[in-house]
Each structure stands twice: as structure tokens, then as C-alpha cells.
Structure 1
Amino acid sequence: MALAVRIPEYLEDCELVASEDLAVEPAFWLAHLLLTMGDPSEDPERYGVDASVYEEMVERLGDPEEPWPVLRVPFDGGHTAYVVYANFEDVNNVDFFVRHPEWGRLGYLGQCGADDARPGLSWAELAVLAEAAQNSGEGLIDRSQRLLLLLPMLGDAEMPREARHTVAQALIRCGLRTDTADELATILVGEQEPVGGSRWTVTSDSPIAVCSSYYSPRRVPLALGITPGQTQALANALNGRR
């Protein structure tokens, strides 16, 4: 039986269920990425996923009659990134946020869906979160799974040259076809940020970087309103500093 997840600061009157078990299924990764970053109507068999299995996964992730799937990425300092498939009767969103049990609030990274709000992570932050696995007994530990789960929040005008290869390798390790992984990685990140795209800067107001994109929740520091010590701890965790 799936474990219920409680997030006191999140929406009321919704039932959440831990869904990290989905991470073993290549159909989940393809559905997650195409629903949030690509074209969900693409032929899944191009990437090594049976069409009927893919369609079943898409329905499972968007079923408003079932508890909402939650996947977690614990990282340094007791922080956790959450991904929630928020399925209302009339709209489906995927919410991304960061939480610490001592904050009393959430730090919103963004949302994919009807009211798209992103980016929520720079490439450097995404890479840190992928690597900073915490064996807390819950959430994803595998770095490829962590990278792909949070990938929809990526937006960065200064992507490193190796980004596409890194994503392609993660796709392969998560069970998608080797011979089309580079093609899919190109769709996902190869040309996502043109010149003049999202820039990340640290200002004198906070040690946490803010984003230049008009639609990013991170135009203000993440988890605005937490204490200075909590802010520094979050900044350290996002930057891989201890």
C-alpha cells in the first residue's frame, strides 16, 4: 500500500501519496518529461516505451480520482525538493517546491501546466541537487532520477557544453533507448535557452540567486521570509557548500 505524504504548508483538502516507486519505470520518465517539457503526443516507441504502457502512465499521473502522486528529492541540510502531480477535476499541474520542516512555509520553484511558472533552477543548482542525495529513508537517491525529475525547472542562458550529454546519459540510465537519448536530450535542453534567456545572479539582498525571467517565481529569493540563518543554509545547500 502506498504511503500517504503530509505537507502541512501545501494545499488543503488534497490526498498525497509517495510515488517514488514509479521511478523504476521508463514510461514514467518519458511521460514526466514530455508532459512538462515536450510533446505528450510524440510516439513513445521511438524512445523504447510501449505505447499502451505510456498511455496508461499518462492517465495514472493525471487521474483526479486518485491521490496525487508525490516524488521527493532530499538534499543537504534537511531540505527536500517535492514534485506533486496536482490533479484537479478541470486542470492538471505539476508543482515543484522546496521545504524544510523548520520553515513553516514552502519555497516555490515553479509549476508546469495551465499557469506555467518557471524556470526554478539554474543548471548549477540542478547539478548539485542531483548529486546531493541524502539517505533519509524517503525520496529518490539515484542521481539520474533526481536530475530528470527536477529537469523541467531548468532555465539557464549559460548552460555548460556537457549539459546535453549529461541529460542523455541520465535518460539511458533511466531505461530509455540509447540510440534516441541524444535526440530527446536535445529536445529537452539543447536549445531551450536562446541568447538573452534566463540569467541567475546573487544580489546584496540574499545569498540565494534570483532569476531574470519574468515568469520565474525566483525573481525573488527562494523561500522569502525564512530567517537569515535558514536562508544561508538553503543557499549553501543549493550551491553544494557545507
Structure 2
Amino acid sequence: MLKIPGYEGGPLVQGSAYLDNPLFWPVHLGTSLRGEDAQRAAFGADWDAAMELNRTLSGEHEWPVFNVPLRSGHTIHVVYRNFEDDQGVDYVIHHAAWSKAETLAAVDGHFMGPGMAWPELLSVARQPATEGAGDAAARLLLLFPTLGDAQLPDDAAAVLTTALAALTWIEEPAEVARMLLENQGLWAPARWTPTAGVWTNDGGHSFRNPGNAFALPERRLLEISDALRDGK
């Protein structure tokens, strides 16, 4: 059985086999596909099959885990947390030198985030990997639910469209990309600020906002900023 230091719950199982299923991606991105128009555009005639896949991903007997290793030696774990009365997806980051993993974001009814700015998401997606989710498009879509950025670049929609076209059966990926960026995360898009190498935001539910009582310690904020942006 898989273990993530400091992460309570399970049974954790490798979820990498799901990454080859084109329906996995709109299911995974579902919290940003709000409203009938968005769901119709993302799922189309595959709605029933997608809902069956969602039930499988949310089963209590297995908690799928997707690993995104970083060049820095850190790994982001995407965990489908399947307690009977507390389901959601946790995005946690860990390094072998840490005693426990730290939470970047949690997507559920008591959401926490955002966990990443757009430049960080893009940097992580493009970092090479020999294990875990290695494809750049897969890494981008897998971590997209952590995004909360009020200052998106002009090419963000095009980048997201390319990833959706590569991995899904969505007929109009550009339209779905637009909807995803309009509804990024369960939180309001945040403004990110670099200070002495530390990227922080102003989100009221974010572990990366030093103004929040539950924020990560400054040393962790610095290390995470460096890992996500690959030292840039």
C-alpha cells in the first residue's frame, strides 16, 4: 500500500492507469465545469460513462494517487480522498527531507486554495520526469484545479486548449478551455506577488497567503516557490 508521510487516510493506490482514459480529464476538472453548458461541452454524449468513472474514482475501497515529481526532488501527490462523509481531492507536496507532506490545495466542500499561479503551473507541467505523470499536457491538466490566478497571460487559453485536444475527446477544446479559465478553482482568482523569492497570494483560503493564520511557514513557502518555478 502506498504511503505519503504525514498524510492520514487510505487505502492509497496508484492511479496512473486512469491517465490514458480520455474521460478522466473532464471528470477530474469537473469543479471548474460549472453549469449545464460547460458540462455539455465537456462530456457530450459520454455523460453516463463519465459519471460511472467518477463513482469508481470516489470509491472508499481505493484512493487513487497521481504523482508529479519535480526536478528539485519534491513530489506533488494528487490524492482522491474517499472518506464516506468527506470526499475531495488533496494536492500535497513532499520532499524526502521533510517529516510530513504539506497541503497546497484541497478541492472539496471546504475548499482550500489556490495552490499555484499560472507561471508555476506551466513550469511544473514542462519539467521533465522519468516517473509518475511525465507528459506535459497530463501534468498541466492534473494540477489545473490548484490554479487561482487573476493575472493570466494572453496565451493561457491556447496552452490549455492544446492540452485538452491532446488528451480528451472534447469536440470544442477551445470553448472548454475558456470556461475552465473563467471558473478556475472553487476560490476567487488571487493576485500573486514575489517577495525575496517567495511567491505568495492574497487568497482568503490559501496556505500560501502569509496573512492567513493557517499559512505555511516562511521557510516552506520559499522552498515550495523555488520548486514550483524551478528556481526561476
Q: TM-score, normalised by structure 2?
A: 0.87
Instruction: Quote the Cα distance in structure 2 between the aligned partners of 1:241 and 1:81.
Output: 16
- Spell out, residue by residue over 1:93-146, the C-alpha distance to the aligned partner (whole angstroms, 9 max, x if none): 1101111111112221111111111111000100000001321x3x10000000
Please say if residues 160 and 177 of structure 2, whose CA atoms lie closer than 8 Å, have aligned partners that are also in contact.
Answer: yes
Match 1:105 to one of 100, 105, 110: 100
Look up the SS of the partner of 2:139 in the other structure.
helix
* 2:113/2:207 contact within 8 Å kept: yes
Q: C-alpha root-mean-square deviation of aligned residues, in Å? A: 2.7
> Pairwise mapping of residues 60-75 of structure 1 onto structure 2 (< 5 A)?
60-64=56-60, 66-75=61-70
Deviates more, 1:101-110 or 1:144-153: 101-110
Deviations 1:43-101, CA, capped at 9 Å, x for gaps: 5675466233212111011112x221100110111111111110111131110111111
Partner of 2:169: 176
Q: Percent identity?
A: 31
The match for 2:112 is 117
1:91–1:210 Cα change, 3 Å: same
What runs of 5+ residues in structure 1 fail to find an aligned partner?
Answer: none
Post-superposition shift, 1:240? 2.4
Please show how residues 121-136 of structure 1 align to structure 2 within 5 Å.
121-135=116-130
Residues 111/231 of structure 1: CA separation in 2 closer, same or farther (3 Å cut) = closer
For residue 12 of structure 2, what is the aligned residue in structure 1? 16
Amino acid at match of 2:105: G
CA distance in 2 between counterparts of 1:85 and 1:44 reads: 24
Supply the AA of the counterpart residue of 1:144. A
8 A Cα contact 2:105 2:113, kept in partner = yes
What amino acid sits opposite 1:215 in the alignment?
Answer: H
The alignment of Structure 1 onto Structure 2 pairs a total of residues equal to 227
Q: Alignment partner for residue 76 of structure 1, among 42, 60, 71? A: 71
- Give the AA of the match of 1:160: P
Q: Give the Cα separation in 1 of the matches to 2:136 and 2:221.
A: 25
Distance verdict in 2 for CA 1:57–1:224, change over 3 Å: same
